[in-house]
Amino acid sequence: MITKIFSEMPWLLPVMIIAIIWDLTWTLIGLWRSARAGQTVWFICIGILNTMGILPIIYLLLEKRKPVKQQ
């Protein structure tokens, strides 16, 4: 069934791969920054919710002016 879908829509696989890379990139950046800043709630929300990179982008935009805590 999957091979039938990809044979009927050959553009679907590259689109899916790009979407997965997009989501993973923004999610990992958001998780990294929220963990370094000690923001547990953001870390949990970004880690659990699958928003195709939207939530991590919102977090990074909101927190971009705040310096990262140094230990």
- pTM > 0.85: yes or no: no
Q: What is the DSSP secondary structure assignment for residue 9, as one 8-state letter?
A: -
- Per the CB < 8 A criterion, the answer to whether 27 and 51 are in contact is no
pLDDT (tens digit per residue) in 17-56? 999 999 999 999 999 999 999 999 999 999 888 788 888 8
Structure tokens at 26: 């923004």
Q: Is residue 32 a part of any domain in this protein? A: yes
Q: Is residue 16 a part of any domain in this protein? A: yes
Q: Is residue 45 a part of any domain in this protein? A: yes
Q: Is residue 67 a part of any domain in this protein? A: no
CA distances from 6 to 13, 17, 20 (A): 7, 13, 17
Q: Is residue 71 a part of any domain in this protein? A: no
Cβ-proximal residues to 47 (8 Å cutoff; 6+ apart), any chain: 27, 31
Q: Is residue 6 a part of any domain in this protein? A: yes
Query: Domain limits at 58?
Result: 2-62
Counting the structural domains of the chain, the total is 1
Q: Is residue 68 a part of any domain in this protein? A: no
